[in-house]
A and B are shown apart, each in its own frame.
Chain A
Amino acid sequence: MKIVVCIKQVPDTNEVKLDPKTGTLIRDGVPSIINPDDKAGLEAALRLKDEFGAHITVITMGPPQAKIALQEAYAMGADRVILLTDRVFAGADTLATSTTIASALKKLEYDLVITGRQAIDGDTAQVGPQIAEHLSLPQISYVSKFDHKGDHAIVKRTFEDGFQTIKVKYPCLITALAELNEARYMSVAGVVDANRSLEIETWSFSDIDAAPEKMGLKGSPTKVKKSFTKGVKQAGKVIEGTPKEVATALVDKLQEKFII
């Protein structure tokens, strides 16, 4: 079985802090990690490899620093890693990103493509399904359980209020939820090999067949018009009043925050 796992290196948004004075994001010193859903996808692939034998290629698109994420994937047990990096790819929205990654995937053999459901920096959940569309693959997103059954898989696809059990034939694409599994650690020997013997393949624009106008900023239909922070967390308000008054204030707060 040949599996390609698409991963993204993201800043650990749990570690991102807002500058209390300016309200801007402090990105310095924020560690970069493999996106958690993607890591669950990689773990799913590694488990298939453990159980049935598989060749796992991990691919990421990003700046040269993203090679750390690939080293980590290799140290966890991936067989081959590819970094897609080129200035032409930069500034891409989800459509352009998926076009670029799908173009690279066309150069690879696969029975199964795995992506994470969504990245914690963008939270779009769009790139996986868009890759599937470019490659004309059936897609199952929000996968919380995956069983390999020879020429097909039985997959648990979660919804807000239930789940579907789906039979899908290979080749297909799934998008993994972090709760699909608990990702393994790198092994000590894996870390050693990832640094001493691993050769990271670096693919640029010239290595994939795609139209330059479909990639990067140029190939992105959507543009960021502006971005802003929601402002500094205000010191909490403490209110007093009758039970009715304070209860109403509480409910208003829940509505304001879209909780109810």
Chain B
Amino acid sequence: MSINDYKGVLVFVEQRFNEIQNVSLELLGKGRKIADELGVGVTAVVPGSDISKHAQLLIEYGADKVMLYDNKALELYTTEPYTQVVVKAINEEKPEVVLFGATSIGRDLAPRVSARLQTGLTADCTSLDISEDRLLMMTRPAFGGNIMATIVSPEHRPQMSTVRPGVMTKMEREPGRKGEVVNAKIALEKNNQFVEVVSFEKEVGTKMDIQEATVLVSGGRGIGSADGFEILDGLAKELNGLVSASRAAVDIGWMPHDRQVGQTGKTVRPNLYIACGISGAIQHVAGMEESDLIIAINKDKDAPIFEIADLGIVGEVQKVLPIVIEEIKKINAAKVIEN
């Protein structure tokens, strides 16, 4: 069959502990846009156990068809059974585009599927577009984020990609939206590639090492007191980060030494460093200047920290942060699935 026989967009819907993951709704939103551009439908493939309750939600978020693979053996994610399900769905549906979340499940499953189908796969995309000749243009960062590359799969179908969570936007939920729900059957084929899940445990973030944190909210002398760090802690919690401090704040005793960033403390390189009330003495800057994104809040508009910050905010930490936290809470609340 020719590649033109492949039609439609297929989205792998990921559930963990039988909760639909946000990224899957984002993919349905993006998939919807792509499908409309291509003039085709969106199919959601859901492996799991006791999952029929999710069907309407997926339709309301953009799926035209939901294929439920409800099977006790699919309750927990493992590679081989899920591969069998997705490969079967693809072989039956013949979609031109298949999207997975670039999560630890999607990035385990998608390459396995691509190799079984002998088709291309582009990892961790941050943007998807359709070209004039109907190709999926998959753009992704490479080289440690230093360059962006746009990838196409001109002669192989389906065109598959894993998509970075949090990048695509969900479509506005359309209550009562109609779609087809299929209780798909699969006879899992037992083979040597099955593994046994002994346990699956939820883990709350306990990493306390500031060098491991991807987000650091850091305070300096400008915080004014040990109690002043509470608001930093509040922001760090919202961003899944940790609180760190400058030498000044540590020397005064507001924060323990293991949280100190700088020449005599630790060198950190988080994705986001928010410097609050830190002037930016060079012994501090030496320990954090490699951070990907630096935001500085300081009431002194001539503070040297602004010279290295990507975004500098002239203002009082104790006044600005509560509003920031409130805003982030609003945004996060909007992300939570309403079921």
Contact = CB atoms under 8 A, between A and B. Distances in A.
Given A162-B201, A167-B195, A259-B215, A121 B144 contact: yes
A225 B137 contact: yes
Contact of B150 (A141, A220, A224): A224
A223 B79 contact: no
User: Lowest 10 A-B CB distances belong to which pairs?
Assistant: A221-B120, A13-B144, A238-B312, A247-B323, A133-B115, A222-B120, A221-B156, A124-B123, A126-B111, A129-B111
A52 interface: no
Given A138-B194, A229-B146, 5 more contacts: A121-B144, A161-B202, A164-B201, A230-B145, A236-B306
Contact of A240 (B143, B296, B301): B301
B331 A251 contact: yes
A260 interface: yes
Nearest to A102: B115
Interface stretch (A64-72, A76-84, A93-101): A93-101
Contacts of B83: 133
Nearest to B78: A166
Interface string A219-257: 011111111111001101111110110111111011101
A18 interface: yes
Contacts of B148: 227-230
A158 interface: yes
A123 B146 contact: no
B307 to A, nearest CB: 8
Given A243-B319, A248-B327, A258 B166 contact: yes
Given A160-B103, A239-B313, A18 B146 contact: yes
Interface residues on B, range: 35 or more
Nearest to B152: A225
Nearest to B235: A250
Contact of A125 (B107, B301, B332): B107
B150 A226 contact: yes
Interface string B296-326: 1100010000111111111110011101100
A18 B108 CA distance: 32
A244 B324 CA distance: 8
A134 B195 contact: no
A257 B238 CA distance: 16
Nearest to B323: A247
Given A237-B311, A247-B327, A249-B313, A129 B152 contact: no
A25 B147 contact: yes
B192 A95 contact: no
Contacts of A138: 79-80, 192-195
Contact of B149 (A137, A160, A226): A226
Contacts of B321: 247
Interface in A109-129: 120-129
Contacts, number: 256
B185 interface: no
A117 to B, nearest CB: 9
A120 B271 contact: no
B49 interface: no
Contacts of B124: 123-125
Interface in A130-153: 130, 132-134, 136-142
B295 A253 contact: yes
Contacts of B327: 247-248, 251
Contact of B198 (A16, A167, A225): A167
B74 interface: no
A164 B199 contact: yes
B306 to A, nearest CB: 5
Contacts of B76: 164
Interface in B256-274: 271-272
A255 B295 CA distance: 13
B115 A222 contact: no
B286 interface: no
B225 interface: no
Given A95-B118, A257-B272, A120 B144 contact: yes
Interface in B173-213: 191-203
> Which of B110, B146, B152, B312 is packed against the most chain A CB atoms within 10 Å?
B146
Interface string A168-207: 1100100000000000000000000000000000000000
B314 A246 contact: yes
Contacts of B201: 162-165
A16 B324 CA distance: 33
